[in-house]
Structure 1
Amino acid sequence: MMTHSLKMITALGTPLTAEEDLHSAGLEAQIRDQLAHGINGFLVAGTMGLMQLLKDSTCRQLVEQSVQFNAGHAELLVGVGDTSFVRTRERIRMVEDFAIDGIVVISPYFLKYSQSDLIDYFEALADLSTRPVFLYDLPQTTGTKLEVETVLQLAKHPNIRGIKCSDQFTTIRPVIDAVGEEFRVIVAQPNLMDVLLQAGVREHLDGIYIVVPEWIEAMVEATLAEDWNRLAQVQQDLSALLKLLTTFSAPLFSTVTTLMNLRGIPGNFAPQPMRPVTAAEREQLRAHPLVQKVLAGKPTSAVEA
């Protein structure tokens, strides 16, 4: 496990069976794969984990087994954000008795709320939660932006310990400049990791890490060695892979499923109604030079979802 000050948090995917129950073997294989490459944080049931698409019983089992398989090796955060105060409160109650390190609360979606409403919402949840609360800013999905002034106000709450920001880095930079180290700013900028690591941004999180933990490990090693050329090289591969995943003919989560299965990690990471990849698409992915690079040196045989 990493013992340095860099924090690499993987947003885990949720592997499912054909009946869309939790695929326990897939979850264990995924967590072990990440830990083997020095990942020192997990976000369970976040956007990559598609919490909102899962049965409540699957969510509970997901958290319980993630705690079991992680066994205290990495920091474990759990996504709980839903569409309203009472729905999010219920999710907090469902998970807070497990040995987790914090909960991550996305802005409520479906309806629009004012910044004042959002302050009341997050403060009320932080008051009742027995676990540290982390804000989650994802306006691309929720349609609601956590403004800088809102985040700085919420940062004063003793149980709101940080924010995971998936918006552009320029939107969170003023918060980094204004807050102390006790309020953590965790960025999701997979296309800018080399620049941000070189600039001293220490906490990073993304779902792409599930596919390429070796590359994330290499980026950490390059940063610690101040080998900026090596860091840039890995970043170029990572950005190219992100472009491939987001422009491929199949849905993103179905494409990720194929790559995870090729890594030897079973399960379906794309619940219905997302269609699976076709046989032709699977072969196209397998033959792609970037995917070959991802799979280089992997001794495990590919598995099917």
Structure 2
Amino acid sequence: MPSGASLSSPKRYAGLWIPLVTPFRDGALDLPALGQLIDHLRRQGVRGFVACGSTGEAAALDADEQLAVLDAVLEAAQGLPVIMGVSGYHLPKLRNWVRQLASRPLVGLLTPAPLYVRPAQAGLLDWFHALADSSTAPLIVYDIPYRTGAHIGTDTLLTLAAHPNIQAIKDCGGDAGKTLALIADGRLDVLAGEDLQLYATLAQGGVGGITASAHLRTACFAALINQIAQGRLDEARAEWLRLVPLIQTLFAQPNPGPLKAVLAGQGYLREELRAPMTSVTPALRERLQVWMGTALEL
């Protein structure tokens, strides 16, 4: 881990985290391509990596594949911290999975509400407390109601913040008041999870972002975070306005389709996704080609 990056200090998750894509080749994992991509990204000022998040198509990977991806990320990261995505809706099974992951040197588990079930707030408290009690790595609550169907209330998150093993939130909730309340409370590191909310979250006191778009223009995203942390808001705003069109284009269709199209055009991986994810349309491919100045031919 780089000097000054202690995860026991305040703002332990500060900086730019890349939620990695998962490369495939002829339907199987392409771990050499993943290693090549990480080797490029880790030189661009990133804080660390997230393995097996939604950008990594984790829902389409079985348990053995997820472990293989995680181990490849840990090896290629060369000491940069790694967070693992963990999700599901069967609590005993998920707790066993969390215990299995204890053998890996993780700095966090990125964990959403149970998918599809839509429990009450009391049920959400029980869920996150049970997982935090089972994990050797801290939990990062992944608040993303449009994927899970579950709204995690502000009071619930503030209650979770009292648990010593719940230390951060990936904020995709879309509720500006809740974001501000968590930043003001200060116990959870607030990480922007929606790429277009990165600047606003950081400017209000968030500590960083888990940012899929930062597979591209990585050093620019890292510079943006550093500029805001140093109070250089005018410079950061100019940098941000240059990045916004890229973010908008990459999310014009479901992630990670557009991102994989660009990375394939740059030679980092094949443009393969697992069902039900699909490749970009020809019209979006043309937009991406214009933006990046890169041929995105299959």
| Counterparts of 1:16 and 1:147, CA distance in 2 | 37
Task: Give, in angstroms, the shift of residue 122 of structure 1.
Answer: 1.1
The share of aligned pairs that are identical, in percent, is 21
Partner of 1:175 in structure 2? 182
Residue among 40, 43, 57 paired with 2:47:
40
With over 3 angstroms needed to count, the CA separation of the structure-2 counterparts of 1:118 and 1:195, relative to structure 1, is closer
Select 2:36's aligned residue among 21, 29, 38.
29
Find the residue that maps to 2:96 and give its secondary structure.
helix
Output one character per residue of 1:181-207: Cα deviation in whole Å (capped at 9) or x when no partner: xx3222224224334434443222221
- The aligned counterpart of 1:77 is 83
Alignment partner, residue 8 of structure 2:
none
Local SS of the residue matching 1:271: coil
CA distance in 1, matches of 2:3, 2:33: 23
Q: Which of these residues, 38, 53, 57, is aligned with residue 60 of structure 2?
A: 53
Aligned equivalent of 2:172, options 166, 171, 195: 166
- Render the CA deviation track for 1:56-101: whole Å, top value 9, x for unaligned: 21101011111111121x2211011112212322331332211111
Residue identity opposite 2:102 in structure 1: E
Picking from 6, 10, 13, the partner of 2:18 is 10
Q: 1:106 to 1:40 in 2, by over 3 A?
A: same
Given the superposition, is the C-alpha separation of residues 100 and 126 from structure 1 closer, same or farther in structure 2, using an over 3 Å criterion? same
Deviation at 1:259, TM superposition (A): 0.6
Residue-pair matches, total: 289
- 2:189 & 2:146 partners in 1: Cα distance? 21
- Residues 283, 45 of structure 1: alpha-carbon distance in 2 compared, 3 angstrom cutoff: closer
State whether structure 2 residue 221 is matched by structure 1 residue 220. Answer: no
Shift of 1:132: 1.5
Contact in 1 for aligned 2:15/2:225 (Cα 8 Å): no
Aligned to 2:292: 291
Aligned to 1:262: 265
Contact kept? 2:172, 2:192, Cα under 8 Å: yes
Report if the CA contact (8 A) 2:44-2:222 is conserved.
Answer: yes
What is the CA distance between 1:235 and its match in structure 2? Answer: 1.5
Structure 1 residues 186-205: aligned runs within 5 Å: 186-205=191-210
What stretches of structure 1 of length at least 5 have no aligned partner?
Answer: 296-301
Aligned 8 A contact 1:133 1:161 in 2: yes
Mind listing any 5+ residue stretches in structure 2 that lack a counterpart?
A: 6-10
Match of 1:243 among 241, 248, 273: 248
How far is 1:224 from its partner? Answer: 5.6
The question of whether the paired residues in 1 share the 8 Å contact of 2:21 and 2:256 is answered with no
Match of 2:108 in 1: 102
Q: 1:167 to 1:283 in 2, by over 3 A?
A: closer
Q: Give the letter for the 2:58 counterpart.
A: M
Residue pair 1:14, 1:49 contacting (<8 A) in 2 also = yes
The equivalent of 1:299 in structure 2 is none
Over 3 Å counting, the alpha-carbon distance change for 1:234 and 1:102 in structure 2 is: same
CA distance in 1 between partners of 2:186 and 2:278 (Å) = 43
Q: Which residue of 1 aligns with 2:70?
A: 63
**C-alpha separation in 1, matches of 2:86 and 2:229:** 33
Aligned to 1:298: none
Is the 2:86–2:110 contact (alpha carbons within 8 Å) kept by the matching residues of 1? Answer: yes
